[in-house]
Chains A and B, each alone.
Chain A
C-alpha cells in the first residue's frame, strides 16, 4: 500500500478489514472439524428430548387431548405467535394421539442412540416444535433449549460417531477407521455456540430489576417455596454469600458472549456454567433445565478433549497429524515479494 494519503490509508484499512473478515468468516464456518463434540451433544440432548417427551406421557390427554388444559383456541390466540400451529389440533382420537406420541418417542430414542441418525434428527426437531406449539402455557426455558439443540442437530452428520449407525457401518466394513472431519458438524456446533451466546446475553441484560443489583435475587430464588427442592433458607444469615452468588451470576451471563471465545478465558466461562446450572438443578428443582443448559455449553468443549474423555484417546501429536492434514505453510510476505 503505497498511497500514504488519509483517504488512501482509509481505503487500505477497509480493504484489509474486508479481506480479513471474509477469511475469518470462512475459517469460522467452513473449517471441517472432528464431529466428536457434535455427536456427544446428540446423545446428551437426545436423552433430554426423549425424557422431556416421555414425561408428557403421564398427562398426554390432559395436555394434548381435545379437552386439554389449554384449548386449541387459547394455544393459538393472539398472545401467541401467528405461525405456531401444530398438527395436534387435528388429532381428536386418543388412540391416534398415543400412536403419534409413541412414534415421536421412538424417533427421539433413535436419535439418542444414533440409529438412523439423520432422519431421526429431522423428525425429532419436527416433533419437538409441534409439542411446544400445542402447550405454550406449559413451556419454559427447557423447551427453548431443547428446540434449538434439536434444530441444530439436523445441520450435520450427528451420527458420525458414538452411534449405532457407525457401529453398524463398521460391522459391515463400510466406514473408515477414523471419522473424517466434517463441515456440517462445524456449522452445527457454531450455531449452538452463537445461540447460547444470544441466550446468555439477553438473560443477563434482561435482569434490570433491583434485586439483581442489591444482591437479593438469589435469596428470592432459594426462598421460593414453589421452586425450591432443597431448603437453603439458612442462607438468610449469609447476605454476603447471597450477594456474591447474585453478582457472579449476572456478570457471568452478561460477559459470556465475549469471554467464552478467547482461548484463555473459555475454560473459566464454561467451568462456571457447571456450578451455576447445577445450582438451578439441585436447589430450584429444575434439574432438566440445569442439565440442558450444561449440554448447550458442551458445544464449547474441543473435540480432542471429548475424544480424550470419551474415547480415552490421547491428543494426537501435531507432527503426526500434520503429515496427513496440514496444508503447505504460506510463505512469508517478504519471501513472496522477493520471488523466493
Chain B
C-alpha cells in the first residue's frame, strides 16, 4: 500500500518546481513538522523544549495544532464525571436533572460534547476523592491509591475479599501519596471559572432564580468486583456527590 512508488514510475515534477521553490517549500515544511512535533513533545517542557515550543505558539495556536494527543492517558479514567443540577424556576418549581443524560442527549456526538464539559474538571486535575481510606472499606476500585491497593491484595491472593482485610490494613498515610495524585480543592481557580460559567449558562437559559450544581463522580467497578458481585455499572453506591456551586440571581 505504498503511496506512489508502487507503479514504479516517477512522473516528472512540474516546471514551476524550481530548486529555489523547493528550498522555500522545504524550509516551510521543516518548520511545520517541528511545530507539529513540539506541543506533544513539550507537554512537560524541559529547559530546551519549553522555550522552542513557546516560540512556535504564534503558529500552532491559530492553526489549532497544539495538541498533546494523550488519549486515555496515563490511564483510562477510573472515575467519570457528570453533573446534577437543581434549578429554581420563576414559577416556584425546581427543575432537576443530570447532564449529560445518555437517554435524552442525542445524537451521541451531542451527548459527548456535554460529557466533555463535565469531564473538563477532570482534565484540570480536579477530584474530590479523599485519599486515605480511614475505616471505610472500598467496594469499588475508584482509582484512589487505597482502593487500587485493596483490589491488588485480593487479586494477589492475600485475601479472598475486602471483608477479610483487617481495618488497620486500610490505613494509608496521606504522606505516602504522591502530590500529583492528591485531590484538588473545590475552590481551585480553573475549576471555579468553569463551574461558574456552567451555572450562569443555566441561570440565563431558564431565567432561573437559583442554580445549584453537584458533581457526580462515578467510579468504574473493578473487574474482580464485576465477577464476584455482578454489580450494575450505574449502581447508586458507585456515585459520589458533592456540591460545586450554589448561584443565586443576585450574584449574576
Partners in one complex: yes
User: Quick check: which of A111-119, A162-170, A205-213 contacts chain B, the rest being far away?
Assistant: A205-213
Q: A79-B190, A202-B41, A267-B1 are in contact. Are A225 and B233 (CB under 8 A)?
A: yes
Question: Which residues on the B side are within 8 Å of A138 (C-beta)?
Answer: 113-114, 116-117
A17 on interface, CB distance cutoff 8 Å: no
Separation of A206 and B69 alpha carbons in the complex (Å): 8
Q: List the A residue with the shortest CB-CB distance to B70.
A: A206
How many residues of A sit at the interface, in one of the four size bands? 35 or more
Separation of A84 and B71 alpha carbons in the complex (Å): 21
Check B226–A203 contact: CB distance below 8 A. no
Q: A267-B1, A321-B9 are in contact. Are A129 and B63 (CB under 8 A)?
A: yes
Question: Which residues on the A side are within 8 Å of B43 (C-beta)?
Answer: 202, 206
Question: Which residues on the B side are within 8 Å of A300 (C-beta)?
Answer: 1, 3
Q: A52-B109, A74-B193, A220-B76 are in contact. Are A303 and B71 (CB under 8 A)?
A: no
Separation of A138 and B109 alpha carbons in the complex (Å): 11
Check A26–B110 contact: CB distance below 8 A. no
Separation of A247 and B193 alpha carbons in the complex (Å): 39
Separation of A55 and B77 alpha carbons in the complex (Å): 26
Q: Distance (Å) between the CB of A247 and the closest chain B CB?
A: 14
Question: Which residues on the A side are within 8 Å of B111 (C-beta)?
Answer: 285
Question: Which residues on the A side are within 8 Å of B197 (C-beta)?
Answer: 69-71, 73-74
Question: Which residues on the B side are within 8 Å of A228 (C-beta)?
Answer: 233
B120 on interface, CB distance cutoff 8 Å: yes
Interface centre among A84, A210, A212, A224 (most CB of B within 10 A): A224
Q: Which of A26, A194, A211, A239 contacts B22 (CB 8 A)?
A: A26
Check A70–B194 contact: CB distance below 8 A. yes
Separation of A282 and B70 alpha carbons in the complex (Å): 21
A275 on interface, CB distance cutoff 8 Å: no
Separation of A286 and B100 alpha carbons in the complex (Å): 15
* Interface membership of chain A positions 178-217, coded 1 if the CB is closer than 8 angstroms to chain B and 0 otherwise: 0001010011011101110011111100111111100011
Check B40–A226 contact: CB distance below 8 A. no
Q: List the A residue with the shortest CB-CB distance to B61.
A: A83
Q: Which of B13, B33, B66, B194 contacts A30 (CB 8 A)?
A: B13
Separation of A62 and B200 alpha carbons in the complex (Å): 11
Interface centre among A129, A193, A226 (most CB of B within 10 A): A226
Q: A71-B197, A226-B82 are in contact. Are A82 and B41 (CB under 8 A)?
A: no
B205 on interface, CB distance cutoff 8 Å: yes
* Other A-B pairs, 19, CB within 8 Å; known A211-B75, A285-B111: A25-B26, A31-B4, A51-B109, A62-B201, A77-B193, A84-B64, A129-B64, A139-B116, A148-B65, A183-B13, A187-B29, A194-B33, A203-B69, A208-B73, A216-B223, A225-B80, A227-B80, A287-B109, A325-B12
17 A-B interface contacts by CB (under 8 A): A67-B200, A73-B193, A82-B57, A144-B64, A151-B63, A199-B69, A201-B40, A203-B71, A206-B70, A207-B72, A207-B75, A220-B77, A220-B78, A221-B76, A236-B226, A302-B6, A321-B9
Q: When A and B form their complex, which 6 residue pairs have the shortest distance between CB atoms, in order from nearest?
A: A83-B61, A209-B75, A209-B74, A206-B73, A206-B70, A202-B40
